[in-house]
Chains A and B, each alone.
Chain A
Amino acid sequence: MSAVSPTIEAREFDAGAQALFRYVLRLGDLSLILGQRLGEWVGHSPALEEDLGLANVALDLIGQARLLLTYAGEVEGRGRGEDDIAFLREHGEYLNAILAEQPNGDFGQTIVRQVLIDAFQLELYQRMTASTDPHLAAIAAKSVKEILYHLRYSRGWLVRLGDGTAESHARVQAALETLWPYTVELFAEDELDRMMAERGVAPRLSDVQAAWLGRIDEILAEATLQRPKDRPHSWHGKRGQHSEHLGYILAEMQHLQRTYPGARW
């Protein structure tokens, strides 16, 4: 008995830790890549207030990413810290849904992407505060408070632009058509999502989706926008298959750490 069970337990633990590691990367990478994208607006926003707003949201997202990637490194147990994981992985090792890496486009497109992801994170993390994983529950509880302000900001702008001029309405409606297909991946439940839900680590994505859709419909109605039709999708960012855009993001984001390994300031 004692000769066999430790090996099995060790193997089971490894498999479980590996799954949790990948799941936490999905969460952390979504925040990291979206935060990096928003950071591109610094110095380029339509007004100083929006420069501040987008930069503040980006900071919060990178704060979430730091906690999540640090935790991922601990779960993995190979001594990697947040910086190693954020800056020294390859393209295919990032597990964010590819909505996060889509280009900023104009301010309206950035706002549409933000509303879609803010509402997703809000519904996800509200439920994750009851996670059986105490680390994730604590990170979720802290994040929810900040995400509420993110959604307040993005929603406010979407309503102003959607219910604004003919030009602003047409632009955000077009952005919605462009980005909507990518939302399908957020809720496409695979084996890993199912495993996390069964263990009580994460909520069921179908529950998150129903609540998300209700919230999005309410916002779109107020913004006088039409929800696009769902179409079949084949995005697999959550499994490491990304659009071409991620490579450009990583080239910029990783440049310093790859050129000067271990650099600190």
Chain B
Amino acid sequence: MNAMHAGTLDPPTTPASAPADGDRRVSLAWGALAAVDDPEIPALSIIDLGLIRSVELASNGTLEVGLSPTYLGCPATEVIRGSVEHALGNAGVGAFAVINVLSPAWTSDWITPEGRRKLESYGIVPPERSAASLREILHPHRAVGCPRCHSTDTECVSEFGSTPCKALHRCRACLEPFEYFKCI
């Protein structure tokens, strides 16, 4: 639903604010968004994942929040949208609209350094940098390092793991399975 367009929530919870109040509303919104975790990888916030593209005050006084999906069919997308609307509503940012931003398409390069660090400490290998070229994705050659023992003697067990964004690997050295956040 509302795939490409602004979805507005119910009537604003606070009265329309004066333009001078804009900065405060924007920073309130960022604060609220920082507390929204990814439902599948709760160690990361949606800001760590780079899903929030913009928070801007439109000329009509609506606070517009640009949100990008990771994968088109990811069931978490709607949960995230709901959480974002809930958080913004509770934060009292006034009238707002969550806009689904498809272009430019989200890339795993937008995961923040903090997000990469959190992924790693959660046991998920962060994606390789700079969305791989076509040839690289179709002809994988580099082994993914084990997050536990750092061996590169690993194999891919499944291209698709428990969520669309992750692949399942196994370390041949320490025999532990682990997940890799795919480069997209």
Contacts and interface: CB of A to CB of B under 8 A. Distances in A.
Contacts of B104: 141
Interface in B156-174: 157-162, 164, 168
Interface string B1-33: 101100000000000000000000000000000
Contacts of A146: 71-72, 184
Contacts of A70: 1, 3-4
Interface in A128-146: 134-135, 137-139, 141-143, 145-146
Interface in B125-172: 131, 134, 137-138, 140, 157-162, 164, 168
B35 interface: no
A141 B105 CA distance: 6
Interface residues of A, number: 36
A117 B47 CA distance: 35
B66 to A, nearest CB: 13
Contacts of B102: 67, 138-139, 141-142
B158 A49 contact: yes
B103 interface: yes
B72 A53 contact: no
Contacts of B158: 49, 52-53
Given A141-B104, A148-B137, A151-B138, A82 B3 contact: yes
B182 interface: yes
Nearest to B106: A142
B161 A52 contact: yes
A64 B104 CA distance: 16
Contact of A152 (B3, B71, B159, B162): B159
Contacts of A152: 137-138, 140, 159
B129 to A, nearest CB: 15
B123 interface: no
A64 B137 contact: no
Nearest to A134: B103
Contacts of B162: 52
Contacts of A142: 69, 72, 102-103, 105-106
Chain B CB count within 10 A is highest, among A52, A137, A151, A156, for: A52
A156 to B, nearest CB: 8
B159 A53 contact: yes
Interface stretch (A55-63, A100-108, A233-241): A55-63
B4 A71 contact: yes
Contacts of A153: 159-160
Contact of B164 (A56, A139, A141): A56
Contacts of A66: 3, 72-73
Contacts of B4: 67, 70-71, 135, 138
A180 B53 CA distance: 43
Contacts of B74: 59, 63
A52 to B, nearest CB: 5
Contacts of A181: none
A63 B140 contact: no
A82 B140 CA distance: 36
A137 B131 CA distance: 19
5 contacts: A49-B157, A53-B158, A56-B164, A82-B1, A139-B102
Give 7 nearest A-B pairs by CB, closest first.
A63-B72, A63-B73, A59-B73, A138-B103, A49-B158, A56-B160, A138-B102
